[in-house]
Chain A
Amino acid sequence: MWILTKIADLVQLKPQDFNKPSIEAIEDKINEKYANKVIPNIGLCICVWDITNASEGLIGQYDGHVNINVEFHMVVFRPHKDEVIQARIDKQTSEGIRLVTPFFNDIWVPSTELPENSEFAEAEKLWIWNCDDQQLYFDTHETVRFQVIEEKWHTQAPTKPNESADSNAPTKTRHQPPYSIVGTMAAPGLGCCLWWE
């Protein structure tokens, strides 16, 4: 579920950071820039793992910033294909189930990837799996296990500025997550964790 990615970057320390030990100041700068960001085709950055290399600091001519070339490892959330992970049911529609974890919200299980003989109860807005003569419910907020089948990357192109006369009119752009996961629950052992206890 997690990988380490090695990245090289230029870190600029401002004079007001000079009171911190250098290693902490560098780590803070990197965390500030990368944490909670998605790098396309890499994954969601969590935090610095370690700093493997740092150059001598060079002081800029005009601003007094110290420039350091740093190489470091980043902890990245990137479940691989077929990995089984746990998440919670957030929302259900007739098209499928949206799953969330506390730090990542873009997991989608389409209705075709639910166990066979599943049906959507329109009134309760939840999916029911008719397993033999039992009815098993996908209760919202329930913890489930799912298997990753696909990942989707989306790079948001810049949008045109709003040209209408009313400059306060909200621009309506559908937000597309930069990184989302498609999963399946159509196999024994997957679905609500309680079913398999």
Chain B
Amino acid sequence: MKILESQSAVLTNYEVYQHIVDIQQRNSAGKKKRRMPEDAFRLSKEVLKYLQTEPNPLHNQKETQRYSENSLQLLCEKFAESFPDITKGEGLAIFDVRPTNIAVLTTLIEDIDTRFTEQEQQQIIDLIVEILGKDEPKDEEDEEEEGEEGAEDGEDGDAVQSVEAVNGA
């Protein structure tokens, strides 16, 4: 074994999610069902389960298809346009976590209070919600421990984009 490049790229949660979903689809398509070797099979299932746990924004990706290559690009473009101060790394972190309030946004952007006014912070949140959507608040006062993914659909239903074979590279 030889490590050629220890880090040739950084992947977003969405890319890993889509990669595993693609593998599962490919393996169950066709007459001959295929399965990954035991460890890889189990691990990728666990990673998928992790990514589908609320409040991870991918928890209802299956229904809403809110995340795609396009939405990432759109988010980066909008940030470059309105908030060029946000670094690429911060943009990716926002894409992964999808903060829908300022408290969570604070953890992703360094020195947020000196770099952006409160109004700008709210504008960033609005932009995120516009592109990546948000979860409708639930009526029950308490969530179950094992956040059931995809239980509710909410307002996201109208923005279905179909994305296929994004991992061709």
Spell out A's residues near B (CB within 8 Å): 1-9, 24, 28, 31-32, 35-36, 39, 41-42, 46-50, 71, 73, 75, 77-78, 80, 83-84, 86, 101-103, 141-143, 145, 147, 187-190, 193-194, 196-197
Whether B4 pairs with A1 at a CB distance below 8 angstroms is no
Q: Considering the complex, which residues of chain B in the window 39-80 have a beta carbon less than 8 Å from any beta carbon of chain A?
A: 39-40, 42-44, 46-47, 49-50, 53-56
> B164 contacts the other chain (Cβ, under 8 Å)?
no
Contact yes or no, A101 B50, CB < 8 A: yes
- Complex CA distance for A181 and B108, rounded to whole angstroms: 18
Residues of A close to B105: CB separation below 8 A: 189
Contact of A47 among B6, B40, B53 (CB under 8 A): B40
B5, B43, B53, B105 pick with most chain A CB within 10 angstroms = B43
Which residues of chain A have C-beta atoms less than 8 A from B4's C-beta? 6-8, 71
Q: Are B10 and A3 in contact (CB under 8 A)?
A: yes
Contacts of A1 in B (CB 8 A): 11, 13, 96
Residue B158, interface by CB 8 Å: no
User: Does B28 lie at the interface of the complex (its beta carbon under 8 Å from any beta carbon of A)?
Assistant: no
Cβ-Cβ contact count across A and B, 8 Å cutoff = 135
In the assembled complex, B16 has its CB within 8 A of some CB on chain A: yes
- From B19, B46, B137, A102 is in contact (CB under 8 Å) with B46
Contact B3 A188 (CB under 8 A): no
Interchain CB contact under 8 A, B1 and A7: yes
- Chain B residues with Cβ under 8 A from A141's Cβ? 145
* CB of B114 within 8 Å of the partner chain: no
Does B139 reach chain A (CB closer than 8 Å)? no
CA distance A172 to B136 in the complex (A): 51
Task: Find out whether the CB atom of A47 lies under 8 angstroms from the CB atom of B10.
Answer: no
- The CA-CA distance from A75 to B46 in the complex, in Å, is 14
Tell me which residues across on chain A come within 8 A of B5, comparing CB atoms: 5-6
B29 interface residue per 8 A CB criterion: no
Which of B40, B56, B143 touches A194 (beta carbons < 8 Å)? B143
Is the pair A142, B145 in contact by a Cβ cutoff of 8 Å?
Answer: yes
Please measure, in the bound complex, the distance between the C-alpha atom of A78 and the C-alpha atom of B16, giving whole angstroms. Answer: 13
Q: How far apart are the CA atoms of A190 and B97 in the complex, in Å?
A: 12
Decide: B6 and A41 in contact? CB cutoff 8 A.
yes
Contact B10 A2 (CB under 8 A): yes
Contact A24 B2 (CB under 8 A): no
With A9-B1, A50-B169, A102-B46 known as contacts, the answer to whether A189 contacts B103 (CB < 8 A) is yes
Interchain CA distance A7-B106 in the complex, whole Å: 36
Most B C-beta atoms less than 10 A away, residue of A7, A86, A101, A190: A86
A86 touches B103 (CB 8 A): no
* Contact call B8/A6, Cβ cutoff below 8 A: yes
